[in-house]
């Protein structure tokens, strides 16, 4: 079969007898892998993960060559089996329409399961209930927004990559705490806050204010304004300190103009007016109350999004780009340029990161905050749990051997601590809004879903794996935003003892070594006491077909040295397999060598 035939089979790696240093007993280690197929598609198209993309011909797109056909699925599984992998886990991603209208003309998940079975592999479907989309790029709010094509609009703009159910049922998402997102009065003052009281080169004459009703076509504000400068005590983590504050007051912002832009004529590397993103700007109402706002991540031009709109790949798989009204807009360049005239985006933002006003040259925001975390549904609603269960049914109907449920997701809010206060939750809480009460109710609802998932999976005679995210017990050492909803009591010990057949640890890359060891010890102790197999998912960051694989080697050593770990999950197949120019799937020779070295 060409490049996938490596000669010496690694079939003996399927089950490896090793001696545990802790107990002296023999333990059988398993080797699994996971496919996030959207990554396989994108890497096949690019020709690599991180390098310069390969130019593709019209024929390449016309013949759908970045999408595996049945022969290539077989080649993929032949390689996986040859290196000792016994289970293939396939992530179901329904933001794309791959499972409705696969370009190669067959049922992708069903054929992948058949192919895996042909080569003796177990085949599991992995679902991410919370992964509803609304991450990545946001588009101008004046663009078309058809929910049935997976588009959703809130105060930040339009998100074009949502699962259809989430886009059409946004009020089932995690809801923000009442009174924390509504902007109930017009802005009468803008405050710019420096993180200290030191003098600054920025003066009143360097500042100008612009406003917009639509987050484009910003207009220079020429109304009344008074300026003053104060030194005030403000809390700036981790303590209170004196801060320099600019006050732009007595403003008469045009009615309906909820998007505000403050430009600074100084913008260079000498900037000194800095603060955390969550503290550098305040909007004040006529009552003197500080109003909720959402900070922009910066101006985006049409040229910045051209690759998205003109992508021949996305046109095949992303419903939003297939909507007739969207295509009509894209094909009118003049209209598109108007959408993007002075458009300020709202991308992923960590509010504790620093920004410098006279370095970026601007600060922009919209009044109010998103009422819901788009894409993160709340399992307190029976219809949400049923929707998630239908995802599982879809997979079971296609012949999978088991289901793997992953809690972590990419739909991240910089203020997730204020979400999860949906009406049924508040009703159950009987007026309480404290973390303990709300998180218990929310956590119970997610555990209820997992119990219902177990009942469904077991009714088909299949197995259930549940992810144990490291953030369930220890915050990410990198200071990154959590990939888990905030106000939830994550009842993972109950999942281990009463629900899951197997467990998979995810999140090794977010920890210092001592916290990584702590997470393994905590999860390992509970899983072992429950007599449940526990697997370690590997890191993939910075990895491509040609390596480096040093992290993989170290992770395998860790698995082989611990009696509380039953195997290793290589993440993901897109890093060690590729479709070559001859249309054949080939596997990484270096990874073959590593597996031979460590799984003898």
362 and 243 within one domain: yes
- pLDDT, one tens digit per residue, over 177-212 is 999 999 989 999 999 999 999 999 999 999 999 999
Our CA angle for 561, 562, 568, nearest 5°, is 85
199 in a domain, yes or no? yes
356 and 258 within one domain: yes
238 in a domain, yes or no? yes
Domain of residue 94, CATH code? 3.20.20
Handedness of CA 455, 459, 465, 467 (dihedral sign): negative
124 touches 92 (CB < 8 A): no
Look at the chain and count its residues.
Answer: 600
Tell me the C-alpha distance between 165 and 135, whole Å: 16
- pLDDT, one tens digit per residue, over 267-286 is 999 999 999 999 999 999 99
148 in a domain, yes or no? no
42 and 117 within one domain: yes
Q: State the average pLDDT over residues 349-369.
A: 96
195 and 99 within one domain: no
Task: Give the H/E segment covering residue 153.
Answer: strand 152-154
260 and 354 within one domain: yes
Q: State the average pLDDT over residues 231-248.
A: 96
144 in a domain, yes or no? no
Residue 599 banded pLDDT, cuts 50, 70, 90: low
201 and 55 within one domain: no
174 in a domain, yes or no? no
487 in a domain, yes or no? no
Mean pLDDT of the chain: 93
What proportion of the chain, given as a percentage, has pLDDT over 70?
95
Which residues neighbour 172 within 8 Å (Cβ) at sequence distance 6 or greater? 166, 377, 378, 381, 383, 384
118 in a domain, yes or no? yes
Residue 360 has pLDDT above 60, yes or no: yes
113 touches 399 (CB < 8 A): yes
Tell me the C-alpha distance between 563 and 572, whole Å: 24
224 and 91 within one domain: no
358 and 246 within one domain: yes
- pLDDT, one tens digit per residue, over 510-543 is 889 999 999 999 999 999 999 999 999 999 888 9
116 and 205 within one domain: no
241 and 93 within one domain: no
User: What is the number of domains present in the chain?
Assistant: 2
214 and 66 within one domain: no
- pLDDT, one tens digit per residue, over 138-159 is 999 999 999 999 999 999 999 9
213 and 108 within one domain: no
178 in a domain, yes or no? no
What residue numbers bound the domain in which 226 lies?
Answer: 187-298+348-367
């Amino acid at each position: 079969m060409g490049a996938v035939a490596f000669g010496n089979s690694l079939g003996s790696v399927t089950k490896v007898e090793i001696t545990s240093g802790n107990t002296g007993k023999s333990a059988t280690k398993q080797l699994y892998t996971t496919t996030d197929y959207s990554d396989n598609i994108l890497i096949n198209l690019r020709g690599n993960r991180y390098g310069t993309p390969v130019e593709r011909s019209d024929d390449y797109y016309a013949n759908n060559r970045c999408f595996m056909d049945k022969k290539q699925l077989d080649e993929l599984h032949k390689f996986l089996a040859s290196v000792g992998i016994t289970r293939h886990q396939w992530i179901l991603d329904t933001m794309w329409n791959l499972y409705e209208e696969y370009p190669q003309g067959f049922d992708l998940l069903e054929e992948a399961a058949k192919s895996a079975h042909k080569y003796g592999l177990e085949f599991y479907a992995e679902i991410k209930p919370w992964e509803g989309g609304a991450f990545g790029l946001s588009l101008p709010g004046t663009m078309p927004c058809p929910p049935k094509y997976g588009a959703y609009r809130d105060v930040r703009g339009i998100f074009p990559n949502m699962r259809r159910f989430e886009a059409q049922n946004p009020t089932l998402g995690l809801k923000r705490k009442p009174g924390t997102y509504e902007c109930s009065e017009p802005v009468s003052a803008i405050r710019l806050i420096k993180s200290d009281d030191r003098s600054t080169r920025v003066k009143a004459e360097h500042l100008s204010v612009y406003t917009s009703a639509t987050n484009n076509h910003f207009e220079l504000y020429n109304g009344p304004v008074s300026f003053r400068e104060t030194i005030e005590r403000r809390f700036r983590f981790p303590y209170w300190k004196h801060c320099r504050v600019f006050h732009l007051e007595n403003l008469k912002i045009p009615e309906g103009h909820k998007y505000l832009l403050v430009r600074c004529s100084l913008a260079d590397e000498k900037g000194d007016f800095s603060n955390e993103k969550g503290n550098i700007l305040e909007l004040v109402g006529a009552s003197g109350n500080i109003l909720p706002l959402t900070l922009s991540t910066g101006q985006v031009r049409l040229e910045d999004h051209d690759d998205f709109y003109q992508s021949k790949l996305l046109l095949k798989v992303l419903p939003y780009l297939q909507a007739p009204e969207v295509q009509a807009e894209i094909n009118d360049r003049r209209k598109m340029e108007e959408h993007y005239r002075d458009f300020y985006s709202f991308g992923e933002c960590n509010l504790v990161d620093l920004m410098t006003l006279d370095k970026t040259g601007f600060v922009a925001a919209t009044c109010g905050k998103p009422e819901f975390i788009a894409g993160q549904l709340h399992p307190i609603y029976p219809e949400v749990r049923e929707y998630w269960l239908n995802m599982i049914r879809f997979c079971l109907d296609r012949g999978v051997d088991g289901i793997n449920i992953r809690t972590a997701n990419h739909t991240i809010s910089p203020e997730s601590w204020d979400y999860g206060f949906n009406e049924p939750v508040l009703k159950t809480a009987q007026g309480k809004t404290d973390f303990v009460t709300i998180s218990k109710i929310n956590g119970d609802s997610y555990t209820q879903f997992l119990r219902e998932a177990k009942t469904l999976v077991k009714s088909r005679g299949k197995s259930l794996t549940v992810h144990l995210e490291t953030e369930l017990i220890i915050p990410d050492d990198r200071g990154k935003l959590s990939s888990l909803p905030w106000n939830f009591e994550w009842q993972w010990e109950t999942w281990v003892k009463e629900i899951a057949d197997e467990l998979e640890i995810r999140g090794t890359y977010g920890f210092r070594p001592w916290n990584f060891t702590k997470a393994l010890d905590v999860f390992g102790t509970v899983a072992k006491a429950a007599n449940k197999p526990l697997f370690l998912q590997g890191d993939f960051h910075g990895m491509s077909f040609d390596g480096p694989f040093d992290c993989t080697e170290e992770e395998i050593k860790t698995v082989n040295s611990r009696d509380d770990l039953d195997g290793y999950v290589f993440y993901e197949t897109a890093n060690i397999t590729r479709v070559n120019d001859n249309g054949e799937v080939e596997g990484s020779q270096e990874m073959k060598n590593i597996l031979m070295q460590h799984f003898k």
